[in-house]
Structure 1
Amino acid sequence: MTEYDVPSRWILHLPTTLTSVDGARALAEALRGSLGHVTAIDFGETTLSEEDRQFVRTRVWCDQRLPGGGRCALPADHPGGSCRADRCSP
């Protein structure tokens, strides 16, 4: 492997019986709250999609890179244009 080779990451698609985007978002937030300590899960990249329209995805969290290497954990549609470390926390 060279310095340019990056191992492929795997995506876990977790179907639910939920019937609303708000319910799916709430479940994603609960999973992040209870499993946030598991470093193998990249919650910042969480997206939602309807069962039969999986190619149309809705981002859950902003996930914009912050100074110092962290990422914004606020909702994807939070107001404010640019993220700052002092206001980007769950």
Structure 2
Amino acid sequence: MAAMTAPRWIIHLPTTLTSLDEATTLAVALRDSLGHVTAIDFGETTLSEEDQQFLRTRIWCDAKLDGADRCRRRDDHDGPCGAMDEGPHR
């Protein structure tokens, strides 16, 4: 029988932003400034409209790369995965 793991907690952080691009830019800025905090899993970041929180938009691909790295490119990126960030709007 597999060992049970403790549930992870999600922090819902409402904003006053009104566009997906603005929210994505903020998510990138938060990842860039708080990326050293190991308790935050930025690869799993999703965005949703305030009144449709069940419809989530994934930000990053987060596929496993060689070693412990994960893909830092946008979820819908073209080409191979990579550890280099391509910026918020590509």
TM-score of the aligned structures, taking structure 1 as reference length: 0.87
Instruction: Name segments (4+ residues, structure 1) moved above 2 Å.
Output: none
Could you say which structure has the greater relative contact order, defined with CA pairs below 8 angstroms and 6 or more residues apart? 2
Q: Structure 2 CA distance, aligned partners of 1:24 and 1:68?
A: 30
* Identical aligned residues as a percent: 62
Displacement of 1:22 in angstroms is 0.3
- Counterpart of 2:7 in structure 1 is 8
- Aligned pair 1:43/2:42, yes or no? yes
Query: Structure 1: any 5+ residue segments left out of the alignment?
Result: none
- Counterpart of 2:84 in structure 1 is 89
The C-alpha deviation readout for 1:24-76, integer Å capped at 9, x for no partner, is: 00000000011000001000000000000000000000001112132101111
- Aligned pair 1:20/2:12, yes or no? no
RMSD, aligned α-carbons: 1.4
Q: Tell whether the 8 Å contact from 2:69 to 2:83 is kept in structure 1 after alignment.
A: no
Query: Structure 2: any 5+ residue segments left out of the alignment?
Result: 86-90
